[in-house]
Structure 1
Amino acid sequence: MLGEFRQFIARGNVMDLAVGVIIGGAFATITGSLTEDVIMPLVGALFGGVDFSNRFILLGSVPDGMSATDYAALKEAGVAMIGYGAFVTAVINFLILAFIIFLLVRWVNKVVRKPEADASPAGPSEVDLLTEIRDELRRK
């Protein structure tokens, strides 16, 4: 059983998958930073300096002594709310990641083209060969 496990792990596609998952995790961090640190501040500036990460709709009551505008504190206190700013950020992050993956797959498909069919002329078909054999046998 241990030998089978070693053989399974040593196969190239398992190692490729492991490397892909690790690189994908690092890439997700980069796109998250791009979204949160570059794109969302630009979007916020277009909407009059709005910080989208703290945008929410309050559904429940605010505990005494707590600010009704502090998203992180309200979330930690368990107040019912819809954090649409975080959702918008996640959607933009997903779209960036999906577009980059699309470009990567498109590039790989261009690089790894299917080999052209052999240009040499094909020989006679099986039916043609059998017909020739039959005709030769009839002549004899």
Structure 2
Amino acid sequence: MSIIQEFKEFAIKGNMMDLAIGVIIGGAFGKIIDSLVKDIIMPLITVITGGGVDFTQKFFVLGSNPNNLQSLAELQKAGVNVLTYGNFLTIFINFLILAWVVFLLVKLMNRLRKQEGPVEETPTTPADIELLREIRDELKKRPQL
């Protein structure tokens, strides 16, 4: 079997197509979630906190600051050793908000899925098992010797 034939079989398999569709839908869903957080939830948080969740300018100067520079951009441009914890903190808070929104959406989807409820089908017993059960029941009815 040639390598092209093997690749063709691999690419046409159902699992490969399912994965591709999942990646495409996941990318679109990610954009929706990102927009929900950025355009709807973050403005509400900004109103509630009275300012926003932006700590990118929070830092500690490690070492000497001979020119007594105050802004992060000036310190970094001057090559001063700076611990910029604010950017990490902002990204971490945004992640927590995003994770919370995804959690709530998944919870909502699961609730909607449970409400629909799968139709319970009674399992059908194969004919040979039914026949054996009938024979068993008839043997039980016979008088014991």
Q: TM-score range by the shorter chain?
A: 0.5 to 0.7
List aligned pairs for 1:70-109, cutoff 5 A.
79-82=82-85, 83-108=88-113
CA contact (8 A) 2:37 2:98 kept: yes
- Change in 2 beyond 3 A, CA 1:53/1:18: farther
Which residue of 2 is the match for residue 35 of structure 1? Answer: 37
What is the TM-score of this pair, normalised by structure 1? Answer: 0.63
Contact 1:44–1:51 (CA<8 Å) still a contact in 2? yes
- Unaligned segments of structure 2, at least 5 residues: none
Report matched runs for 1:1-140 at 5 Å. Answer: 1-48=3-50, 50-55=51-56, 57-61=58-62, 65=69, 67-68=71-72, 79-82=82-85, 83-108=88-113, 111=116, 113=118, 115-118=120-123, 124=130, 126=132, 128-129=134-135, 132=138
**Distance in 2, Cα, partners of 1:51 & 1:2:** 55
C-alpha RMSD over aligned residues: 4.0
Tell me if structure 2 keeps the 8 A contact 1:58–1:81: yes
Q: Please say if residues 33 and 98 of structure 2, whose CA atoms lie closer than 8 Å, have aligned partners that are also in contact.
A: yes
CA distance in 2, matches of 1:105, 1:7: 35
Q: Render the CA deviation track for 1:60-100: whole Å, top value 9, x for unaligned.
A: 449765614x7xx96xx884222322211111111212322
Deviation (angstroms), 1:114? 5.0
What TM-score does the superposition give when structure 2 sets the normalisation length? Answer: 0.61
Over 3 Å counting, the alpha-carbon distance change for 1:30 and 1:124 in structure 2 is: closer
Q: Is the 8 A contact 2:55 2:90 kept in 1?
A: yes
Q: SS where residue 122 of structure 2 aligns?
A: coil
Q: Which runs of 5+ in 1 are unaligned?
A: none
Instruction: Name the count of aligned residue pairs.
Output: 130
